[in-house]
Structure 1
Amino acid sequence: MAELAPDGSNPDVSLLRDINGLAKDAPRWLDRIMEFVGEYGLVVLMVLLLGWCWWRVARRSPEAPAAVAGVLWSGLAAGIAVLLNIPLRGFVERPRPFVDHDGLDVLIKGKTDFSFVSDHATLTMAVAVGLFLVSRRVGAVALVVAVAEGFCRVYMGVHYPTDVVGGFALGTAVALLLAPLAMALLTPLVTAVGGSGAGWLVRAPVRRRTSGEPFPEPVAYDKDLAA
């Protein structure tokens, strides 16, 4: 990547310094929290959101197999996007911001790979967009988590803002553009699993109705999509 302009004339670097400057002014305990959250915590939270979304849609019939396939695609999209980022990083070869700019408060030491684009931003946004296609409610929460992850990466001094934006774009593109093909392949597979001994992965077990108990109201798949 071409050499960056001086800080004063480059909005990317200026925004980096503004956000990372918050780390300089924050107490050390808060920086330690941000370090953990930005490196591990929000990724773990995204995995928990995947599980939550699976639990919600697996109880819903008859569209449960397609919805579970969508949740499965959310995780696969993140993996594919991160793999695509490997050659992209090697092509752009953008150094980490602390390599070219002094005075940053770098919370995570030892980062020696290239900066563009952010793996964390790519992964979390791919999951978030995939989940949004399945459930607007869960997807909205996941989108907030992805944006928070991007902020943390800049706050920690390990990425430029444009690294994060690029990661968001890559994750979104993979999750959206490959979704039709992925769903065409995954839905029959998940449907087959639903009819096998591992059917609980697709449909949560239904509690038996006791004598005299009224039948439950039918639940439409992902009612929040109509909201």
Structure 2
Amino acid sequence: MMLALSGASVDGSLYTDVVDLARRSPAWFDDTVSVWSAYGLAVFAALMLAGWWRARRVDAAAAVTALAVPVAVVLAYLVNSLVKAAVHEVRPCRTLHAVTLEACPARTDWSFPSNHAAIAAAAAVALFLVSRRLGAIAVVAAAAMAASRVWVGAHYPHDVAVGLVAGALVSFAVMRVVLRSPEGLARRIAATRLRPLLVS
């Protein structure tokens, strides 16, 4: 059963205020935010790679935990996408006919919850359980990603807020399962062709 949500009734006025502010902001700032919104997820991939590279120099269990980060992110994305497909919230740029920095996505490219925010939050939470330093960087980057998606006009504020929560919860659940027995998982992986992923 499909649901229908009118995002404009939740925080449409706040969305309009943000989009209007973006239109009045300096071009260099808008360009910076737009680039981050479009390509910023690559930073999380780089942080995941760095976390794994550092972890494999510690021990196999740490490497397994680091390798679980992209798994947590993918699962968070899948769960978020299922919710998005069930809710069918039309993008605010279509509902409110706003002039936005980013081209308005197709009508069937649903808005709630934000996949960008979910991916960013999932990466941040998982990375924090691997490395406090990398996790702290990822938390700031995730907040910036969520804010940028509203700034460019792609999402309502509640889209990114729920995306952040959903991504964080799924990621935390996945990482908790892995952290129960990383040594056991390391032994299993070490017996396969994936062994080089665990040791430097």
Shift of 1:166: 0.7
Is contact 1:17-1:104 (8 Å) kept? no
> Could you report, residue by residue, the CA deviation over 1:128-151 in whole angstroms, capped at 9, with x for unpaired residues?
101111111111111111111001
Match of 1:178 in 2: 174
Is contact 1:31-1:107 (8 Å) kept? no
Could you state the TM-score of these two structures normalised by the residue count of structure 2?
Answer: 0.85
Choose the corresponding residue for 1:71, options 66, 73, 88: 66
> Could you report, residue by residue, the CA deviation over 1:34-81 in whole angstroms, capped at 9, with x for unpaired residues?
2221011x1100000011111222212xxx222222222211111111
Question: What's the C-alpha RMSD, in Å, of the aligned pairs?
Answer: 2.4
Task: Give the letter for the 1:164 counterpart.
Answer: V
Structure 1: segments with no counterpart, 5+ residues: 205-227
Match of 1:39 in 2: 38
Choose the corresponding residue for 2:136, options 140, 153, 157: 140
User: Percent identity of the aligned residues?
Assistant: 31
Structure 2: segments with no counterpart, 5+ residues: none
Is 1:159 equivalent to 2:155 in the alignment? yes
Which whole-Å CA distance do the structure 1 matches of 2:119 and 2:5 have between them?
26
Number of residue pairs matched by the alignment: 196
Match of 2:16 in 1: 17
Q: SS of the residue aligned with 1:84?
A: helix
Is contact 2:23-2:101 (8 Å) kept? no
Which whole-Å CA distance do the structure 1 matches of 2:88 and 2:191 have between them?
48
Match of 1:26 in 2: 25
* Aligned counterparts, 1:96-107, within 5 A: 96-107=91-102
> Could you report, residue by residue, the CA deviation over 1:3-31 in whole angstroms, capped at 9, with x for unpaired residues?
3566xxx5x22322232223201244443
Which whole-Å CA distance do the structure 1 matches of 2:117 and 2:8 have between them?
24
Could you state the TM-score of these two structures normalised by the residue count of structure 1?
Answer: 0.76
> Which protein shows a greater Rg?
1
